[in-house]
Amino acid sequence: MTVTATQDLVAILNGGSLASTSTASLFTTSNSIFNVGGADANGPGGIPSLRFFDISGNSGLTGSSATVSGPLITSSGDTFNVSGAFLRVAGPLFAPATLTHNNPGDANPFMQFTGSVMTLGNPNAPGTGNVVEVGFSPVSGSGIRYQGSGTFLQADTTGVAAWRADRLLLAQTPTPDGDPTLGLNSSSTSPLFSFTGAPLDPTTLLPGGTHTFNNSLFEIKGFNTTVESVLVEVISSGETVSITRGTDEPLRHLGELFRGSATPVQVGDAGGGAVKLDTALFNATKPIMNLINGSAATVGTGGATQVDLLKLIQNAKLNGALVPADALVKLDASTLSIPNGVLAAVSGGSLMNLTGGTTLLSVNNTSNVTINGSSFNAGALVSVTGNSVFKMTGGSLINFGGTGTNAVTIQTGILSFGACAGCVFQTIAIGGINAPVLLKGGATAANNIRVDPTFNAFPGRTLPGNSLTFNNFGSLFIVDGVNSKVVLNP
């Protein structure tokens, strides 16, 4: 069956509502083709910015809603060509739109795709092809409340064409007073997005395809801020700095954000980061990215645009409170490549605060990470700029596993230091090595990088076969500005 639509395929608009008490999937479809946006939905002849499922309102005061007790969609062998988002929940300026899953006993994936292919977006409206989109109004907010225990979106793409979209998730909404109905708020400890299996090239339909997200995997934007006092000591000096940081939580989830199993994924250059926080708060209790079973992630194309994996901008805050066996970025028999960027960029007065044994990066079972840079702003594990703070209490920067040979290589393509005016390139003693750091804008190692000598930076590094290598001005830290801080406490 082929369905071609020249408007949103399923729309709840202008105060409309839908309520389903069935625990069965709201939509079940198989072996069908959906062209939403016309026959050339993803091309220049398509109608841009149409959605497969849209919950929104008019330009006034009336929002819309849907409530379900089971999965939203179960798909097998389908093809979705959509010129905009697959699922959008976005109310008008002064009223929220909401999608509520109200069955805590439901362990099924909320959206399940088995052998299905999704192509989203249109060249006439770049950035609108998002798998899930929540909110746009800084006033009212909108939200998806998922109360099941399953995976929010599960895709088995073994042997079918790779997915192409702008983002997995765009969430931009206020969440005043922690309102649980706003933003994407999931109670599940299962992965938020899970991809399994090696896809085919979408053009040739031969093995070797890669899921491509042009902007980012996750872009999370809030609007409201508060001022927080942050200790920046490694001894009991009581020294603090004040950070203005976001209070809105457009994304709340208790499990991993992205899990890839035997899956390749490519993030493009358009968004500048794979996971972006902008004036928002996110509390991580599980890995943000977990790559297993031969998965491969490439963050950026390696062009002139810097693309970072974790990117905090404009007063963002990321709290990490993971168990020691986990890490914010976790690899098992997998590879990660950042052709021109850093693993974690903390900028614009932002704060990354990792506590309780949280590890930033872990590699195990013959995993490899390569971080490159083509400028003096890239080619580092962590960069801290613009009066920002990167702070760890316990945990480690890189945990090397005891199985296989695991390698982390950090480097730039720069052969001469002369172009970095006012910069200082030196080493600091940390984790049993003398690690290179790049200091800019008046920063000094003594004032801006504070490391307790007992901090366990690189556990497992000396195990046979494991390696941590810095080449050609590759750095552990880039610190720019006299008020930017790195603080590492045991």
CB count within 10 Å of CB 105 equals 9
36 forms bridges with which residues in the sheet?
Answer: 5, 82
| pLDDT above 60 for 59 | no
Counted residue by residue, the chain has a size of: 490
- pLDDT (tens digit per residue) in 170-181: 999 999 989 999
Helix, strand, or coil (residue 447): helix
Confidence class of residue 234 from pLDDT cuts 50, 70 and 90? low
CA angle 157, 112, 287 (to 5 degrees): 80
Q: Which of 83-97, 106-120, 144-158, 247-261 is predicted with the least confidence, judged by mean pLDDT? A: 83-97
DSSP state at residue 177? G
What is the total count of domains within the chain?
1
Q: Tell me, what's the pLDDT at 114?
A: 98
Domain span including residue 470: 2-489
Coil vs helix vs strand at 369: strand
Helix runs in 11-97, H state only: none
Q: Which of 39, 128, 41 is nearest to 88 (CA)?
A: 128
At 238 the pLDDT is 65
Alpha-carbon gap, residue 295 to 260, rounded angstroms: 6
Residue for token pair 């709201």: 26
Contact of 52 with 84, CB cutoff 8 Å: no
Cβ atoms of residues 75 and 36 within 8 Å: no
pLDDT-derived band of residue 81, with 50, 70 and 90 as boundaries? very high
Q: Give the strand pairing for 424-430 and 433-440.
A: antiparallel
* 466, burial (CB in 10 Å: exposed 0-12, middle 13-18, buried 19+): buried
Residue 288 has pLDDT above 80, yes or no: yes
Q: Tokens at residue 123, please?
A: 């060249």
Give me the pLDDT at residue 420, please.
84
Mean pLDDT score, 425-453: 95
Dist CA 315 CA 228 (whole Å): 11
Q: Which of 232, 142, 229, 154 is nearest to 188 (CA)?
A: 154
Residue keyed to tokens 């008020």? 483
How are strands ordered across the β-sheet holding 143-146? 17-19, 65-68, 98-101, 143-146, 183-186, 251-252
Q: How far apart are CA 360 and CA 94, in angstroms?
A: 39
Separation between Cα atoms, residue 192 and residue 184, nearest integer Å = 10
Q: Is the pLDDT of residue 239 over 80?
A: no
Report the mean per-residue pLDDT for the chain.
94
Q: Residue 313: in which H helix or E strand, if any?
A: strand 308-313
- Token pair listed for 143: 């939200």
Pairing of strands 240-246, 225-231: antiparallel
Closest CA to 220 of 184, 260, 263: 184
Q: Of all residues in the chain, what percent carry a pLDDT higher than 70?
A: 98
Q: How far is CA 262 from CA 90, 113, 246, 369, in A?
A: 34, 16, 35, 16
Segment 145-164 mean pLDDT: 97
Is a pLDDT exceeding 60 seen at residue 284? yes
Inter-residue contact 267 to 219 (CB < 8 Å): no
pLDDT, one tens digit per residue, over 348-406 is: 999 999 998 899 999 999 999 999 999 999 999 999 999 999 999 999 999 999 999 99
End-to-end Cα, the chain, rounded Å: 60
Give 229's pLDDT tier (boundaries 50, 70, 90): confident
- Distance set, CA 179 to CA 23, 147, 183, 247 (Å): 26, 15, 9, 12
Contact between 92 and 63 under an 8 Å Cβ cutoff? The reply is yes
d(CA 309, CA 373): 13
Kind plus residue range of the DSSP H or E element containing 172: strand 167-172
| 3-state secondary structure at position 275 | strand
Residue 24 CA to residue 74 CA, distance in Å, equals 10
* Residue 19 three-state SS: strand
- Res. 41: pLDDT tops 60: yes
445 closest CA partner among 398, 388, 485, 400? 485
Q: Residue 228: which pLDDT band, with cuts at 50, 70 and 90?
A: confident
What is the model's pLDDT at position 415? 72
CA distance 115 to 157: 5
For residue 245, pLDDT beyond 60: yes
Banded model confidence at residue 58, pLDDT cuts 50, 70, 90: low
Q: How many C-beta atoms surround the C-beta of residue 24 within 10 A?
A: 12
Q: Which two tokens stand for residue 83?
A: 């010129």
List, in order, residues 6 or more apart from 4 with CB less than 8 Å away: 35, 38, 39
Tokens of 72: 């939203």
